[in-house]
Amino acid sequence: MEEMQKYLKEILSESRYKHSLGVMEKAEELAKIYKVDIESAKKVGLLHDIAKEMTIEQYKEYANKNNIKITEQDEMITAILHAKIGAHICKEKFGFTEEMQDAVRYHTTGRAGMSMLEKIIYVADKVEEGRKYDGVQELRKLAEENIDEVIMQIVDFNLMKAVNNRNPIHPLSIEMRNELIKNEKSSV
Ligand SMILES: [Fe+2]
Ligand SMILES: [Fe+2]
């Protein structure tokens, strides 16, 4: 853990490093509530943005070298690249398991069929203590009770923002939302 923190501190800006510590702490809290392995949650929380400060050229070069497939959708929504490539770096450098890699890989878009660890990281990233936006307090509280509802609210907010700004929407996010709605309907 210490080694990871040291590495991260060297490669990230101070504010992103702080965000990473915030996600680590929030992931730990949520892991306790939802009975997920705490060490794994902390490590993924800490390192989820490990590739966030690389350039597009560096992403492409890294992906080429390591046979990571970048889809056309990924290219349109470049935020997915730091997640995909970050997952690979975490495997290579710190021996992340498949499940931990998935939690890094899908922390931006989400996807249908997320594990509880993936959900925790997706949510911790958006509600860690350093995040400041209208409604974050409510989401933080709700995250302790109903994590799916928080994911739904986050994805809706992001989709509406994308629509308003005429930005593309990643199909994985749509698939995640559809699954949540299906589960909601079947549990009524
Ligand atoms: Fe990220
Ligand atoms: Fe993040």
Domain of 101: which CATH number? 1.10.3210.10
pLDDT reported for residue 73: 83
pLDDT reported for residue 74: 84
122 CA to centre of ligand 2 in angstroms = 9
Ligand number, closest to the Cα atom of 51: 1
pLDDT reported for residue 147: 98
185 CA to centre of ligand 1 in angstroms = 30
Which amino acid is it at 53?
Answer: E
Containing structural domain, residue 83 = 2-187
Ligand number, closest to the Cα atom of 109: 1
pLDDT reported for residue 94: 97
pLDDT reported for residue 33: 98
125 CA to centre of ligand 2 in angstroms = 5
Convert the chain into a string of H (helix), E (strand) and C (coil).
CHHHHHHHHHHCCHHHHHHHHHHHHHHHHHHHHCCCCHHHHHHHHHHCCCCCCCCHHHHHHHHHHCCCCCCHHHHHCCHHHHHHHHHHHHHHHHCCCHHHHHHHHCCCCCCCCCCHHHHHHHHHHHHCCCCCCCCHHHHHHHHCCCHHHHHHHHHHHHHHHHHHCCCCCCHHHHHHHHHHHHHHHHHC
Instruction: Give pTM, 2 decimals.
Output: 0.95
Ligand number, closest to the Cα atom of 16: 2
pLDDT reported for residue 55: 93
- Take residue 119 and report the two structure tokens written for it: 């959900």
136 CA to centre of ligand 2 in angstroms = 15
Instruction: Please count the structural domains in the chain.
Output: 1
Query: Alpha-carbon distance 108 to 173, whole Å?
Result: 9
Evaluate whether 108 touches 4 at the Cβ level (below 8 Å): no
165 CA to centre of ligand 1 in angstroms = 20
- Token pair 């509802």 is found at 149
Per-residue pLDDT of the chain (188 residues; tens, 9 = 90+): 899 999 999 999 999 999 999 999 999 999 999 999 999 999 999 999 999 999 999 999 999 999 999 888 888 888 899 999 999 999 999 999 999 999 999 999 999 999 999 999 999 999 999 999 999 999 999 999 999 999 999 999 999 999 999 999 999 999 999 999 999 888 76
